[in-house]
């Protein structure tokens, strides 16, 4: 099938960037979206034009590397789907697509469709862990975890850190990402010791980055390829307030 | 108390403040509507009620003192609500300096997308409403101590009534998102009542709007005169 | 060259304990005097970096991805083995050891495997303490399942995302150390050379993938945790970025590469749908528990599955292996699928695939039961192929998935270059000629959490007081210049073909001649053709852009160049190993029934290859293998 692409091209962080139009005369419906971009790039290279840079790695929807805005939606039109798992059969001959990078002050554009998501790593570094040195763990079955608690924690833990939540949010907020880790660890018995400190530190770091603030649009939940629920945001909000009122002066 | 100021610096805390002040303002809106509904019982009852507000808390409090305490509380809530919203709005603008060329929202309701403009309409209305019926400065035939007359004669102007209706529709949308959002911001999402949050927001948004819009309609229709 | 595996003496169950006592220690105050470089941030790299930092070493960790959390360990689905015996079904350290040695077709080191089985139990404890949400029973205790044909339930799992959850656990431990400043993380940074001074590994040369800047990093030890090389086949289940460059650069500096021909092919992948295909997706092997594999009886049958009557179908696994049927091991299932395709009985639009049919299972257990068991896999299949596996059979085909070969390491996981270590899939040590299901995660974490952090101290303790080599040293300068020249050369070719087109061609060549089954003629042809193709690449590849910017084509070109050389070595090794074992099947060496035929008398050794330079024949060094506890036997699945 034949497609027209409007792709964001930007040489680097200093460049202002622009949309460039490409005609794709022969796209196979069984291709994945990224394979369609591969095809575009092969053609560009053969013509002597620099290919479009885009992040990608596992191409099976788990590494979280890929992700572009397709016609104004993070990861494109299908729910629960990363860009790499979107296939061209969902488009029809003659369609015109607009492809842009995640746009967020916290995710500066590196080149073309590639952005820098290191802010997410910094949020995790601030407290998204259980402080257990290797070797000091007790036997794994010493602490039973009720199945429903474990399942709920798992639902939060499935976050792949792709950044679609930030990209889709009209405010560019990172609440869904942060709350997923806060809740994953905050729900489990292993995470209780550091629960209050963790939420304080992670939220503070999130707020120090250039993310916006949540106004409960619920766009993040809708765009999340792993279907992570905004219930975790509520949980983080609660924990954050509780953490402060439990120990107002804590500044560790 | 330094920690409280420090706490308020956090956008998450500002959302909590918006939720708490929102609840206060919501309480006022409900009370205000319930009180105003007394206009259906006639001028005497209505004026008696209005005067009663001034003697609230007596004999512990003097004439009008309770009312002023409430007014100060509400004013504080309004200021905090607006200031937080303003700051968060600026923050959110900065978070996306380059707009998308194409944008397609998936889930966001009309109400959630119009919170800021709805808020502005409500604010303008409240200012007008105070000038109109509390201070009387923009009321063509304001009579001190006769609120029933002020309301009825004021609303007989169809333009004024139209503004009332528009503002209350804006309020309905604001409440529809705000009341639900409040639970989210304060983290009240216990599974056993989670699904009730949306119903709660819808019911009260409709109730408040319907109640408040009924007053100008009743005046225009001649039911209240 | 004398290969000393440094296997400790004593009975097998005491070796590791004895060794831990015999090794030199670095006292806590001295640990902060050592800088360790870790390349790679998957299960092995992240766990090693975190643990080394916890011990007090200064760690620099490098990954080419934009975040350490994206390493390809994340894609492992099935689970992780551990000899916990929580299910009380007779498992033990010795049984896990035994199964792994046997599963590896008697081509692994007993001592290494036993240690792996020993520390497996600690891994689970560690992961649970980190908050890894393993599946649980209603009691709140951990659940286990039987995996990959094991007769005990020793596999811990986290839905179909065990790799993701374990990696996030290790990533979080790493993030904690980055937060404390003990680990300096270098994402989007690729290692392009190792600096060896007086025979010791002293540092690395890296390229910042965003700015293109070349950087020199000195370290008291260098640890490579850079994964496997399945992408030599172009189409594999590996992530697109997985590459052999770090390991191959080490090999070019004198590190021996062991058993490159041991590659694992996973039988249940979704077949390629066309030439544009960029990677293959694996579906859990558990599908074979209920699905029946078949092809049409007559070659060239173009009818759709539903129109082929029962009598004209060949359930070839059930026919040939009545005892195991569709549950034969990975290599057997894979080879048989290839035979069907070779006999022109393949199915689907490309004719490269076989059916995996759930009709009988749905008829027997109902659609709901099948959906409960495999719902997510069916969904994944439908998402990718656009076909509904409930109404028509799935099509599957084997795909390269894991490489058992890797850098040769001794018992301490050190390569033959002192100070250079290889852990996880990047080394060769624990899986022999075939890896069992749910053992890759176990090995990566065993190496990173519990083995390397001990053994590296033994090396460092001997070098206390030496201090880091200056990065102004001539060797650093020469290495950086070498990298720079190579980059400029690749950019200067300005030919007519894309990097991917060459990679596809190399992949096809390897797949056809050194894939699921190999023979002398094919391997000889490949050994002759690969250098030619490399030369074409060096004359005709087109890499645009500059070296001083973000340039994904340049990254790919460098990686492909290393794949060419690795591919050649892989074919050499396969040619040299005139026996069939595990993932290496030589058509000349099979039983009358078409099963793998080992030659223990002549090939019971580790083939460790020394790279002698481009165009030169590599030198083979042999490390003989001894089996004291698990006596070699013939596998049979009839």
C516-534 tens-digit pLDDT: 999 999 999 999 999 999 9
Q: Which of C357, C380, C401 is the last residue of a domain?
A: C401
- Exposure string for C219-231, b = 16+ CB within 10 A, e = fewer: bbbbbbbbbbbbb
Give backbone dihedrals phi and psi of C228, rounded to 5 degrees, phi first.
-100, -175
Nearest to B133 by CA among B50, B69, B225: B50
Inter-chain contact C131–A59, Cβ cutoff 8 Å? no
Q: Which residues in A lie closer than 8 A to residue B189 (C-beta atoms)?
A: 231, 234-235, 238
How far is Cα C97 from Cα C76, in angstroms, rounded to an integer?
22
CB-CB neighbours of B158 under 10 Å? 11
Residue range C315-321: average pLDDT? 94
User: Contact at 8 Å (CB) between C411 and C238?
Assistant: no
Tell me whether residue C5 is in a domain: no
Structural domain contains residue B104: no
Residue for token pair 């190792």:
C194
> Which positions in chain A touch C384 (Cβ < 8 Å)?
32, 85, 87
Q: In this complex, which chains have at least 3 CB pairs below 8 Å with chain A?
A: B, C
How far is it, in rounded angstroms, from Cα A96 to Cα A2? 9
Contacts with A160 from chain C: Cβ below 8 Å = 164
* From C84, C172, C187, residue closest to A124, measured CB to CB: C172
Count of pairs with CB atoms under 8 A, one residue in A, one in B:
137
Q: What is the pLDDT of residue C324?
A: 85
Kindly indicate whether the domain formed by A118-246 is annotated with CATH number 1.10.1060.10.
Answer: yes
- Kindly indicate the confidence band of residue C278, based on its pLDDT and cuts at 50, 70 and 90: very high
When pLDDT is averaged across residues B63-76 and rounded to a whole number, the result is 92
d(CA C218, CA C194): 10
pLDDT band at C95 (very low <50, low <70, confident <90, very high): very high
Stretch 51-110 of chain A: residues touching chain B, C-beta under 8 Å: 69, 71-73, 98, 100, 103-106
C392 and C497 inside one domain: no
| C339 belongs to a structural domain | yes
Give per-10-residue mean pLDDT for chain A (252 aa).
98 95 97 98 97 98 97 97 97 98 98 98 98 97 95 97 98 98 98 96 96 97 97 97 86 61
Q: Residue A22 belongs to what H/E stretch?
A: strand A18-24
Which DSSP string do the residues of B148-161 spell out, in sequence order? HHHHHHHHTSHHHH
CB of A172 within 8 Å of any CB in chain B? yes
- Asked if residues C371 and C378 have their Cβ atoms less than 8 Å apart, the reply is yes
Model pLDDT for residues C206-256, shown as the tens digit of each residue:
999 999 999 999 999 999 999 999 999 999 999 999 999 999 999 999 999
DSSP letter string, C336-379: HHHHHHHTT---STTS--EEEE-HHHHHHH-HHHHHHHHHHHHH
Residue B2, domain member (yes or no): no
DSSP one-letter code for C59: E
CB contact (8 A) between residue B95 and residue A240: no
CB pair distance less than 8 Å for A134 and C383:
no
Strand duo C354-357 + C292-296: pairing: antiparallel
Per the structure, how many domains does chain C have?
Answer: 2
Quote the tokens at residue B157.
């102007």
A3-110 is classed CATH 3.10.20.30: yes
| Domain housing B92 | 12-96+109-220
From A169, which residue of chain B is nearest by alpha-carbon distance? B105
Contact A218 B112 (CB under 8 A): yes
Give which of A62, A117, A202 to mutate to test C binding, by max C Cβ within 10 Å: A62
* Residues facing A171 on adjacent strands: none
Quick: pLDDT tens for C11-62: 999 999 999 999 999 999 999 999 999 999 999 999 999 999 999 999 999 9
Which helix (H) or strand (E) segment holds residue A41: the answer is helix A33-47
Report the CATH number that the domain containing residue C491 is assigned in CATH. 1.20.58.100
Cα-based distances in Å from C197 to C250, C455, C478, C482, C487: 13, 21, 11, 15, 23
CATH number at residue B59: 1.20.1300.10
Domain holding C283: CATH number? 3.90.700.10
* C525 Cβ contact partners less than 8 Å away, ≥ 6 residues apart: C513
Tell me the chain A residues in contact with residue B185 when contact means C-beta distances shorter than 8 Å.
214, 216, 237
Instruction: Flag if B107 and A219 touch (Cβ within 8 Å).
Output: yes
Interface touch A114/C129, C-beta < 8 Å? no
d(CA C95, CA C636): 19
Q: Are B184 and A237 within 8 A, CB to CB?
A: yes
* A184 vs A156: CA distance, rounded Å: 5
- Kindly tell me the sign of the dihedral angle through the C-alpha atoms of A165, A167, A171, A175: positive
Q: Residue B94: which of A100, A105, A207 has the nearest Cβ? A: A105
The catalytic residues of C are 330
Test A213 with B91 for CB contact under 8 angstroms. yes
Joined tokens for residue C570: 């892989």
Residue-level pLDDT at A230: 97
End residue of a domain, out of C386, C401, C416: C401
- Nearest chain A residue to B195 by CA: give it: A231
pLDDT of residue A252: 57
Give residue for tokens 């050389």: C565
Shortest Cα–Cα distance, A246 to chain C (Å): 24
Domain-located, residue C502: yes
Measure the CA–CA gap between C485 and C523, rounded to whole angstroms: 32
- Residues of A within 8 A of B8 (CB-CB) are none
Using DSSP, state whether C113 is helix, strand or coil.
Answer: helix
Best probe of the B interface among A215, A224, A244, by most B CBs < 10 A, is A215
Task: Give the bridge partners for C147, in sequence order.
Answer: none
For range C71-78, the mean pLDDT: 94
C278 to A61, B108, C504: CA distances (angstroms):
14, 36, 9
- State what percent of residues in chain B have pLDDT above 70: 100
> Which chains does chain B touch, 3 or more C-beta pairs < 8 A?
A
Range of the domain at C504: 474-599
Q: Which residues pair with C207 in a beta bridge?
A: C190, C214
Pick from C558, C456, C559, C448: nearest CA to C42: C448
Chain A neighbors of C211, CB-CB under 8 A: none
| Contact indicator for A232, A145 with CB cutoff of 8 Å | no
Kindly state whether residue C203 falls inside one of the protein's structural domains. Answer: no
Q: What is the pLDDT of residue C569?
A: 98
Q: Which residues lie across from C596 on neighbouring strands?
A: C590
A interface mutation test: which of C140, C187, C560 has the most A CBs within 10 A?
C140
Q: Kindly report the average pLDDT of chain C as a whole number.
A: 95
Strands ordered across the beta sheet of C313-314: C263-269, C394-403, C354-357, C292-296, C313-314
Neighbours of C388 (CB within 10 A): 11
C129 vs A: CB within 8 A: yes
**Inter-chain contact A62–C74, Cβ cutoff 8 Å?**
yes
The Cα C52–Cα C50 span in angstroms is 6
Rounded distance, CA B210 to CA B163, Å? 15
Contacts made by residues A74-77, CB under 8 angstroms, sequence distance 24+:
A74/A102, A74/A164, A74/A165, A74/A167, A74/A168, A74/A223, A75/A162, A75/A164, A75/A223, A75/A225, A76/A33
What tokens were used for C356?
Answer: 């995996």
Provide mean pLDDT across the span B159-184. Answer: 96
Contact yes or no for C450 and A85 at CB 8 A: no
């Amino acid at each position: 099938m034949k497609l027209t692409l409007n792709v964001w091209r930007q040489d680097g962080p200093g460049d202002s960037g622009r949309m460039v139009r490409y005609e794709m005369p022969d796209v196979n419906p069984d291709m994945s979206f990224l394979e369609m971009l591969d095809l575009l790039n092969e053609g560009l290279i053969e013509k002597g034009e620099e290919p479009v840079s885009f992040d990608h790695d596992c191409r099976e929807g788990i590494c979280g590397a890929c992700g572009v805005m397709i016609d104004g939606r993070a990861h494109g039109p299908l729910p629960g789907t990363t860009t790499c798992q979107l296939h061209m059969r969902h488009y029809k001959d003659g369609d015109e697509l607009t492809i842009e990078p995640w746009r967020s002050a916290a995710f500066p554009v590196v080149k073309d469709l590639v952005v820098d998501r290191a802010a997410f790593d910094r949020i995790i570094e601030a407290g998204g862990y259980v402080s257990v040195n290797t070797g000091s763990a007790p036997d794994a079955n010493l602490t039973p975890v009720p199945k429903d608690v474990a399942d709920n924690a798992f639902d939060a833990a499935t976050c792949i850190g792709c950044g679609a939540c930030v990209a889709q949010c009209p405010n560019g907020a990172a609440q869904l990402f942060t709350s997923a880790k806060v809740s994953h660890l905050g729900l489990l018995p292993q995470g209780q010791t550091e629960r209050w400190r963790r939420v304080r530190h992670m939220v503070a770091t999130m707020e120090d980055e250039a993310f916006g603030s949540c106004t409960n649009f619920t766009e993040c939940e809708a765009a999340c390829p792993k279907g992570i629920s905004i219930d975790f945001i509520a949980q983080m909000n609660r924990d954050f307030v509780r953490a402060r009122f439990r120990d107002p002066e804590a500044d560790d | 108390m330094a920690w409280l100021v420090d706490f308020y610096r956090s956008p998450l805390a500002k959302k909590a403040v918006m939720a708490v002040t929102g609840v206060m303002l919501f309480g006022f809106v409900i009370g205000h509507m319930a009180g105003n509904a007394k206009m259906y019982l006639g001028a005497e009852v209505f004026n008696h009620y209005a005067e009663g507000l001034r003697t609230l808390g007596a004999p512990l409090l003097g004439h009008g003192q309770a009312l002023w305490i409430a007014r100060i509380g509400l004013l504080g809530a309004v200021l905090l609500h607006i200031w937080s919203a303003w700051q968060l709005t600026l923050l959110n603008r900065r978070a996306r300096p380059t707009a998308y060329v194409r944008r397609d929202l998936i889930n966001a309701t009309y109400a959630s997308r119009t919170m800021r403009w709805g808020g502005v309409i409500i604010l303008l209305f409240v200012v007008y409403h105070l000038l109109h019926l509390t201070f009387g400065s923009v009321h063509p035939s304001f009579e001190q101590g006769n609120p029933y007359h002020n309301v009825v004669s004021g609303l007989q102007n169809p333009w004024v009534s139209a503004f009332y209706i528009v503002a209350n529709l804006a309020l309905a949308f604001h409440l529809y998102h705000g009341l639900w959002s409040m639970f989210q911001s304060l983290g009240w999402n216990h599974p056993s009542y989670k699904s009730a949050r949306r119903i709660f927001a819808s019911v009260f948004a409709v109730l408040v709007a319907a109640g408040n819009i009924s007053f100008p309609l009743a005046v225009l229709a001649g039911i209240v005169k | 060259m004398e290969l000393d595996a440094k296997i400790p003496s004593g009975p097998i169950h005491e070796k590791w304990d004895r060794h831990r006592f015999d090794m030199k220690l670095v006292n806590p105050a001295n640990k902060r005097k050592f800088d360790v470089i870790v390349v790679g941030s998957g299960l092995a790299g992240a766990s090693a970096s975190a643990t080394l930092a916890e011990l007090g070493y200064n760690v620099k960790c490098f990954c080419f991805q934009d975040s350490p959390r994206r390493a390809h360990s994340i894609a492992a689905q099935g689970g992780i083995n551990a000899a916990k015996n929580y299910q009380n079904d007779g498992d033990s350290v010795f049984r896990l050891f035994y199964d792994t040695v046997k599963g590896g077709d008697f081509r692994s080191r007993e001592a290494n495997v036993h240690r792996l089985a020993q520390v497996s139990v600690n891994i689970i404890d560690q992961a649970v303490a980190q908050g890894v949400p393993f599946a649980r029973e209603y009691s709140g205790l951990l659940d286990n399942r039987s995996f990959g044909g094991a007769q005990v339930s020793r596999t811990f799992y986290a839905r179909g995302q065990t790799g993701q959850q374990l990696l996030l656990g290790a990533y979080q431990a790493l993030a904690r150390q980055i937060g404390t400043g003990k680990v300096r993380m270098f994402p989007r940074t690729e290692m392009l050379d190792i600096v060896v001074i007086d025979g010791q590994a002293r540092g690395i040369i890296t390229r910042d993938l965003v700015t293109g800047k070349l950087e020199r990093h000195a370290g008291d030890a260098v640890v490579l945790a850079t994964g496997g090389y399945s992408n030599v086949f172009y189409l594999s289940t590996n992530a697109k970025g997985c590459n052999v460059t770090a390991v191959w650069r080490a090999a070019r500096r004198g590190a021996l590469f062991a058993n490159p021909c041991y590659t694992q092919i996973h039988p249940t992948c979704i077949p390629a749908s066309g030439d544009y295909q960029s990677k293959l997706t694996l579906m859990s092997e558990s599908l074979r528990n209920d699905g029946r594999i078949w092809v049409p009886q007559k070659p060239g049958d173009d009818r759709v599955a539903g129109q082929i009557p029962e009598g004209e179908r060949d359930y070839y696994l059930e026919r040939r292996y009545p005892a195991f049927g569709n549950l034969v091991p990975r290599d057997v299932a894979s080879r048989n699928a290839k035979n069907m395709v070779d006999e022109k009985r393949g199915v689907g639009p490309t004719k490269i695939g076989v059916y995996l049919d759930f009709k009988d299972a749905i008829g027997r257990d109902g659609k709901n039961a099948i959906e409960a068991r495999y719902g997510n896999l069916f969904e994944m299949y439908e998402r990718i192929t656009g076909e509904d596996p409930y109404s028509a059979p799935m099509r599957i085909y084997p795909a390269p998935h894991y490489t058992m070969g890797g850098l040769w390491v001794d018992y301490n996981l050190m390569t033959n270059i002192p100070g250079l270590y290889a852990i996880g899939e990047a080394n060769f040590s624990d899986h022999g000629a075939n890896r069992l299901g749910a053992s890759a995660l176990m090995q990566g974490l065993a190496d990173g959490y519990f083995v390397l952090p001990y053994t590296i101290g033994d090396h460092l303790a001997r070098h206390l007081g030496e201090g880091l080599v200056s990065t102004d040293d001539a060797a650093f300068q020469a290495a950086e210049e070498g990298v720079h020249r190579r980059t400029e050369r690749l950019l200067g070719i300005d030919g007519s073909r894309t990097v991917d087109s060459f990679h596809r061609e190399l992949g096809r060549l390897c797949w056809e001649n050194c894939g699921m089954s190999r023979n002398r003629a094919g391997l000889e042809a490949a050994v002759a053709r690969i250098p030619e193709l490399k030369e074409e690449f060096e004359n005709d590849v087109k890499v645009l852009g500059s070296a001083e910017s973000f340039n994904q084509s340049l990254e790919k070109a460098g990686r492909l160049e290393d794949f060419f050389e690795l591919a050649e070595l892989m074919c050499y090794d396969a040619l040299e190993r005139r026996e069939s074992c595990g993932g290496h099947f030589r058509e000349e060496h099979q039983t009358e029934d078409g099963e793998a035929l080992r030659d223990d008398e002549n090939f019971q050794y580790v083939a460790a290859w020394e790279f002698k330079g481009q165009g030169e024949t590599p030198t083979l060094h042999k490390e003989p293998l001894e089996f004291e506890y698990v006596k070699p036997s013939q596998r049979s699945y009839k």
